[in-house]
Structure 1
Amino acid sequence: MAKTSAPKTSASMNIITVKVTLRGTKPPVWRRLVMPGTMTLGDLHQAIHAAMGWHDGHLHAFDREWSSS
């Protein structure tokens, strides 16, 4: 599940914070990614795999939950 907050403006680009959570894990396993607002879903895919230490062998789904925090 990925949660995003409203883009934050920096001097040169929008920055998006994404929280990636693995469902059904105890204790919870999650990563917070800080990405450029210009990223593609392909970029996000690569970032999730890198953050989780995966080697492109795990399936995932994008589930939008927007928050303003």
Structure 2
Amino acid sequence: MHGIRTAAQARAWLERQGKSVQQFAREHGVDPATTYQVLSGRKKGRRGEAHKVAVLLGMKDGIILDSPPLT
């Protein structure tokens, strides 16, 4: 990836692919409402599913763990 996307850039990226937010959410197994909230800035993507959405949209640099690490 060539840098972090803004919300507007993430929306444009989805549009260039011909994907709706709903379709993106279904394809990645995330909640559509959370995806809309990350794109609107209501959720910052700091943890949990919002973090996963932000990383998948390219709005945040991070990793996505399939399961919580064992401590």
TM-score, length-scaled by structure 2: 0.29
Give 1 or 2: higher strand fraction.
Answer: 1
**TM-score computed with the length of structure 1 as normaliser:** 0.29
Instruction: Report which of the two structures shows the higher radius of gyration computed on alpha carbons.
Output: 1
Q: Say which structure, 1 or 2, has more relative contact order (CA 8 Å, 6+ apart).
A: 1
Q: Identify, as 1 or 2, the structure richer in helix.
A: 2
